[in-house]
Structures are given as C-alpha cells and as structure tokens.
Amino acid sequence: MKYRFYGDELQLVKYELTVADAPTHDGSPAVYLAASDKERDELLKSYPDAAVAEVDNTGYEWLDGMIFTQEQLRAGELEKAIEMGGEAYNEMKNAPTQEEINAMLMLEIAKIKAGGMNE
C-alpha cells in the first residue's frame, strides 16, 4: 500500500512517475506520486518522458479519503486501522462511546421512572 497525506486526508497513490532526466540530489531519478488520473496527466504535461507505473492498493481502497489528525497519527490510529481492516475499524469507530452509553442508560432510567409515576 502506498499513500500520502493532503492535510489530514489520506490519499491512496494510484501512480508513480519516474523521471530519469530529472535526478535528485543523490543522482537517482525523481519519482512523483499521483493520487488521480487528472494529477497523473498534469505531471505528464511537465514530464512527458516519465515512466508511469500503477500502484496496487487492492484491499485498501476503503482508506482513501479518510481523515487522520496529527494526534491520531501519533497515537498509531492509521496502523490500527490497517491492521483491523475496513469493516472492523469502521464498526469500532461507529461504536458508542462510554459517555453515549451512560446517557442512553440515564434516559432509559428516566423513562422507567416516568412510566412508574403514571400508574
């Protein structure tokens, strides 16, 4: 899997463009990443002789476009998401927090008490 961040948004890399005639400081060819066909095409306008390779992100498509704050990244949230997989991670993220569970319980208790007073 290959990805990059645009702000807090994770973008899966779809293409790598290698430009042999644009060496880096260490003499290796420059490599540019593109997250979309449009971005690839824009890069090819500047580097028409670039070698284009598709990046295989099969199985990780669910991560594309997800938001991860710097705090979440420092806490290992991205690694956790990758390890768990899409379905399990999304279930975990959508699970109610302890505060929400407490609020639901308090509401149910209030309903029961209110129902008892009407009898």
pLDDT in tens, 65-79: 999 999 999 999 999
Q: pTM score, two decimals?
A: 0.71
CB-based contact 40:34 (threshold 8 Å): yes
Cα Rg of the chain, angstroms? 24
Provide mean pLDDT across the span 79-85.
92
Question: Would you give the end-to-end CA distance of the chain in angstroms?
Answer: 62
Higher pLDDT, 87 or 41: 41
Does 59 score more than 70 pLDDT?
A: yes
Give residue 50's pLDDT. 94
- SS3 call for 97: coil
Higher pLDDT, 8 or 96: 8
Does 119 score more than 80 pLDDT?
A: no
d(CA 39, CA 108): 53
Buried b (16+ CB within 10 A) or exposed e, 73-89: eeeebbeebeeeeeeeb
d(CA 94, CA 112): 27
- Residue ranges of the domains in the chain? 3-84
